[in-house]
Amino acid sequence: MNFEIEGNSALITASSRGLGKAAARSLVLEGVNVVVNGRNEENLTKTVEELNNLSGGRVIGQAGDITKKEDIAKLVEVAYQEFGRLDHLVTSAGGPPDLLFEETSDQDWYESFDLLVMSVVRLVRESLKYLREGEGGTIVNITSISVKEAIPGLVLSNSVRMSVIGLMKTLARELGPEIRVNAILQSAHETDRITNLIESGLAGDKFSSYQEGLDFYAEDVPLKRIGQPEELGDLAAFLSSPRSSYLTGAAIPLDGGSSRSNL
């Protein structure tokens, strides 16, 4: 399938590693010019080099912290100035801390809100005028399956990410038909986040091998494995392309069938 987005330009936040990087990879392979982002310059430089070695769109890196208003304004400006257009915004973020309710402070709640919600609010606000300029502007929010089914021990993710879905649904109405807005609700995918969890399980004798750790996270998944980041990247590229032209306001689970809710 040709995604028909060659020559377009995309900004992808929190993309020096993990799921954001996978989204960048899929868009680059479709010939999209991409701005990738993260706070650590060294990781970012490595990712830019790696993605520029693929045959496809051009990639530049812009370091910045998406909890900072001024860094977001700069990111959007760099994306537009560098490529002369901005067609696609893909939002990812770092994860909030894994905590039980009684372990959280007010500060944890406010910081999670800044990281997960205000980053999207500000990114959309800053990007809108550019997304409206072209034909087929899109926004894709990478969130979590925790908005569909609360995950034990993740009260911040379960609670705060719901706001991103409310925002996404509202934006789909307010910004259509010019701009389409969708969200991805992923379960465990094999990024550094999961690798680190498995490695600490190995160190703490929870697992006897890396594979046992992978199997643990895949236990309740009908497809019997966790997701690969590339699979999420391809969904992000599809949602950014006119091949998904009748999809907006959708929160799409990407979980190997593991969520049990009927809807």
Ligand X SMILES: NC(=O)c1ccc[n+]([C@@H]2O[C@H](COP(=O)([O-])OP(=O)(O)OC[C@H]3O[C@@H](n4cnc5c(N)ncnc54)[C@H](OP(=O)(O)O)[C@@H]3O)[C@@H](O)[C@H]2O)c1
* 141: contact with ligand X by CB under 6 A: no
Q: Tell me which long-range contacts 109-114 makes (C-beta under 8 A, separation of at least 24).
A: 109/156, 109/160, 111/67, 112/156, 112/157, 112/160, 113/160, 113/163, 114/67
Minimum gap (Å) between residue 260 Cβ and ligand X: 17
Distance from C-alpha of 124 to C-alpha of 117, rounded to nearest angstrom:
11
Does 192 bind ligand X (CB under 6 A)? Our answer is: yes
**Residues 9 to 68 in contact with ligand X, rule: CB under 6 A:** 14-20, 37-40, 43, 65-67
> Taking the complex as a whole, how short is the minimal distance between the CB of residue 195 and ligand X, in angstroms?
8
124: phi then psi, degrees, rounded to nearest 5: -65, -45
Q: Is 170 helix (H, G, I), strand (E, B) or coil?
A: helix
Q: Is 70 in the site for ligand X (CB under 6 A)?
A: no
Question: With binding defined as CB under 6 A, does residue 233 bind ligand X?
Answer: no
Q: Which residue is nearest to ligand X (CB)?
A: 18
Q: Which is nearer to ligand X, 86 or 164 (CB)?
A: 164
Using CB under 6 A as the binding rule, the residues of this chain from 145 to 174 that contact ligand X are none
Residues 24, 104: Cα–Cα separation, whole Å:
33
Q: Is-contact 213 198, C-beta < 8 A?
A: yes
Residue 253 binds ligand X (CB under 6 A)? no
**3-class DSSP assignment, residue 17:** coil
Interacting residues with ligand X (CB under 6 A): 14-20, 37-40, 43, 65-67, 92-95, 115, 142, 144, 186, 188-189, 191-194
